[in-house]
């Protein structure tokens, strides 16, 4: 068996469209850090699409932030040729479309989009750690999509690997024999050729209709400064050719198809894409809003009438305000968010105004890691200085007159008497070694969790199910879980409606004026500790003024915590030596009256550094960390 060399782009060679029965589309799904990207590297080497001189670790992780953090954020599609020798001795070349997916729960939306573009999934499990929470979550997504599952144990070269034990876990989970679980090493390449053969054998070819009107699903897009929007598609029916006119079914926009090709793993122009093929389209369009993920692309001359099913719209779980440090950067921030939205369909945003911070955007994210990544990409890729407000979830607040308000920002919390507040809850799955069951239960109870079930996957591994308020887990729950279980527990969660909760809004007042950027919605029991924490922090961060500044935390009209920033005082008695004491008192009274007048008309200027420090994503929820 020998890999087929990739087309030489320097000679301008264009690969011919592959016959439909020779196509195989699959993705690699796994928990965080189970070796998806490393296994993808070995596949790229085994199939010969990346020359040894060009090879680097995590080849498909293109962003600097991915390589620094060691995680995959964006799914990457790549086409690889693979030759298989049949029983009669004849060799057949197959085209394998591989998609490397993220493992973190915040990027599960990327995984769901990738699964919709495949017929098979390689379920990768670390031979030392075994099945984890995200392994199960991704497996269920693949089963719902009716994909062929290929179970694989990775990292079998590790001294701590227990392949036989974990193969039995996988076999009992998906109902196969332990012999069907392949064993590979993404580090050494052991077992990779056998895995590629299994993919050809087990994954069915795409089932599109070649002579039907063209229909292609947009599953990702990126913005190129020189070429405009680059759209990644999977052709379902018919075929797309270069230089033909294409139409976007949802918007009705018509464009000329300037270039079409495949990613192998660099862009390679082709003479077209047929049913089941995955590739890219370039139309020269600069407007990022004209290429929507989930839209259907068809031929303008012979258009399809029925669009493809598309994707379920992602629902933001966490909201935070993004404001430019320099107010003049607001247009640049808008343009940067437009371009990021093209590349990250799960990001939502709308303009908002803050009295303290000026003009900015209220952004919705899938989780805290998603928030951190977006903020870091804005700073790195677009050179923006950003302040992000404390993360908040979506609440439904009902007032006594029966009106219901949707609150994504504490400043939207209605004034007056509140009849009830509903907060979002999630259904969490926690996998942990059995000796940490008590510790995990204690943590979940402290976060107002309710246990809904517990299953023993084996003698040493337990799967625990909890219903938890989303606000309790988006901040530091994952860190607390890892630290209390020495890193062995894993977490996955999905939305599960809402519940009634005893929540209040805590306002921060500076010199009697409310600062909306510091407001927060917290549980009634945590309100006091949040107020104490914020007043102490602001006392340290805000510089002293010419007058005394009270820093207060209040729930409604009731002050629950207070700190005082002492005034800067000039030594009025420096020139007074000897003489009557009444003269000294007169000078001090005069200074006191001046301070009192200044306090009545004075305004406290909060420096941007104080906002950045007080409103970081690590702002505690009022709980001891």
Neighbours of 386 (CB within 10 A): 19
Residue 211 annotated as binding?
Answer: no
154 annotated among ligand-binding-site residues: yes
Nearest by Cα to 554 from 419, 413, 424: 413
Please indicate if the annotation marks 34 as binding a ligand.
yes
Angle at 615 between CA 322 and CA 561, to 5 degrees: 140
Cβ atoms 199, 96 nearer than 8 A: yes
416 annotated as a binding-site residue: no
Rounded Cα distance, 277 and 239, in Å: 9
- Alpha-carbon distances, residue 201 vs 21, 139, 150, 278 (angstroms): 12, 20, 10, 20
Contacts of 144 (CB under 8 A, 6+ apart): none
Cβ-contact 301, 248 below 8 angstroms: no
403/391 Cα distance (integer angstroms): 25
Nearest 10 degrees: CA dihedral of 403, 409, 412, 415?
A: 90
Please state, in angstroms and as integers, the Cα–Cα distance from residue 504 to each residue in 391, 414, 528, 536, following that order: 16, 11, 11, 20
- The phi and psi torsions of 456 (rounded to 5 degrees) equal -90, 110
Report CA torsion sign: 307, 311, 312, 315. negative
Annotated ligand binding at 156? The verdict is: yes
155 is known to lie in a ligand binding site:
yes
| 225 in a labelled binding site | no
Annotated binding residue 250: no
* Burial class of residue 225, CB neighbours in 10 A (0-12, 13-18, 19+): exposed
Residue 441's CB is within 10 A of a number of other CB atoms, namely 16
CB 311 within 8 A of CB 294: yes
Contact 492, 467 (CB under 8 A): no
Q: What is residue 227's three-state secondary structure?
A: coil
Sequence-distant (≥ 6) Cβ neighbours of residue 52 within 8 angstroms: 45
Give the three-state DSSP class for 221.
strand
State residue 118 phi and psi, 5-degree precision: -130, 165
CB 148 within 8 A of CB 203: yes
3-state helix, strand, coil in the chain (%, to 5): 30, 30, 40
Going by their DSSP bridges, the two strands 549-555 and 503-510 should be labelled as antiparallel
The whole-angstrom separation of Cα 469 and Cα 449 is 7
How far the first Cα of the chain sits from its last, in Å, is: 57
Residue 33 marked as a ligand binder: yes
Confirm whether residue 622 is marked as ligand binding: no
Pair of tokens at residue 418:
């509140």
Is residue 255 within 8 A of residue 225, CB to CB? The reply is no
How far is Cα 415 from Cα 330, in angstroms, rounded to an integer?
A: 30
Q: Which residues are annotated as a binding site?
A: 33-38, 154-157
Q: Which residues are annotated as a binding site for GTP?
A: 33-38, 154-157
């Amino acid at each position: 068996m020998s890999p087929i060399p990739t087309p030489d782009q320097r000679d301008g060679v264009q690969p011919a469209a592959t016959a439909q029965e020779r196509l195989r589309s699959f993705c690699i799904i796994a928990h965080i850090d189970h070796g998806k990207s490393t296994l993808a590297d070995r596949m790229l080497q085994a199939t010969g699409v990346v020359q040894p001189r060009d090879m680097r670790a995590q080849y498909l992780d293109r962003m600097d932030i991915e390589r620094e953090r060691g995680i995959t954020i964006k799914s990457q599609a790549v086409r690889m040729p693979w030759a298989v020798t049949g029983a009669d001795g004849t060799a057949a070349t197959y085209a394998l479309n591989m998609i490397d997916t993220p493992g973190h729960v915040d990027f599960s939306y990327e995984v769901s989009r990738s699964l919709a573009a495949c017929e098979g999934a390689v379920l990768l499990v670390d031979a030392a750690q075994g099945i984890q929470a995200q392994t199960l979550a991704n497996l269920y997504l693949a089963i719902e999509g009716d994909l062929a599952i290929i179970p694989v144990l990775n990292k079998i070269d590790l001294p701590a690997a227990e392949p036989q034990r974990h193969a039995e876990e996988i076999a009992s989970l998906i109902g196969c024999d332990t012999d069907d679980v392949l064993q590979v090493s993404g580090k050494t390449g052991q077992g990779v050729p056998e895995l590629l053969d299994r993919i050809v054998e087990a994954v069915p070819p795409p089932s599109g209709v070649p002579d039907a009107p063209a229909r292609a699903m947009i599953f990702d897009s990126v913005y190129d400064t020189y070429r405009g929007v680059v759209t990644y598609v999977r052709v379902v029916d018919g075929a797309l050719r270069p230089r033909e006119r294409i139409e976007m079914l949802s918007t009705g926009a018509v464009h000329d198809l300037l270039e079409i090709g495949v990613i192998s793993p660099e862009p390679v122009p082709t003479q077209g894409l047929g049913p089941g093929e995955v590739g890219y389209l370039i139309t020269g369009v600069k407007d990022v809003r004209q290429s929507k993920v989930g839209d259907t692309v068809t031929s303008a001359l012979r258009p399809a009438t029925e669009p493809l099913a598309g994707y379920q719209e992602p629902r933001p779980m966490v909201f935070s305000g993004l404001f430019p440090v320099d107010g003049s950067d607001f247009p640049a921030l808008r343009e940067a968010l437009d371009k990021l939205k093209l590349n990250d369909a799960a990001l939502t945003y709308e303009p908002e105004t803050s009295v303290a911070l000026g003009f900015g955007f209220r952004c919705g994210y899938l989780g805290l890691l998603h928030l951190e990544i977006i903020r870091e990409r804005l700073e790195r890729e677009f050179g923006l200085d950003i302040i992000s407000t404390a993360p908040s979830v979506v609440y439904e607040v009902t007032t006594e007159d029966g009106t219901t308000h949707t609150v994504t920002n504490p400043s939207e919390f209605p004034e007056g008497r509140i009849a009830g507040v509903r907060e979002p809850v999630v259904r969490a799955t926690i996998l942990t070694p059995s000796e940490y069951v008590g510790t995990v239960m204690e943590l979940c109870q402290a976060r107002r969790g309710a246990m809904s079930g517990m299953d023993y996957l084996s003698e040493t591994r337990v799967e625990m199910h909890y219903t938890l308020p989303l606000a309790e887990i988006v901040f530091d729950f994952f860190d607390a879980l890892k630290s209390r279980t020495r890193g062995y527990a894993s977490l996955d969660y999905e939305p599960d409606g809402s519940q009634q909760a005893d929540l209040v809004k805590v306002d921060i007042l500076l010199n009697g004026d409310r600062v909306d950027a510091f407001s927060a919605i917290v549980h009634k029991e945590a309100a006091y500790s949040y107020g104490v924490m914020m007043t102490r922090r602001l006392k340290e961060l805000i510089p002293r003024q010419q007058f005394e500044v009270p820093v207060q935390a209040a729930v409604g009209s009731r002050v629950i915590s207070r700190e005082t920033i002492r005034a800067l005082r000039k030594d009025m008695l420096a020139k007074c030596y000897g003489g009557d004491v009444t003269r000294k008192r007169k000078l001090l009274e005069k200074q006191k009256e001046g301070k009192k007048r200044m306090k009545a008309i004075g305004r406290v200027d909060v420096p941007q550094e104080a906002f950045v420090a007080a409103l970081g994503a690590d702002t505690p929820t009022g709980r001891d960390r």
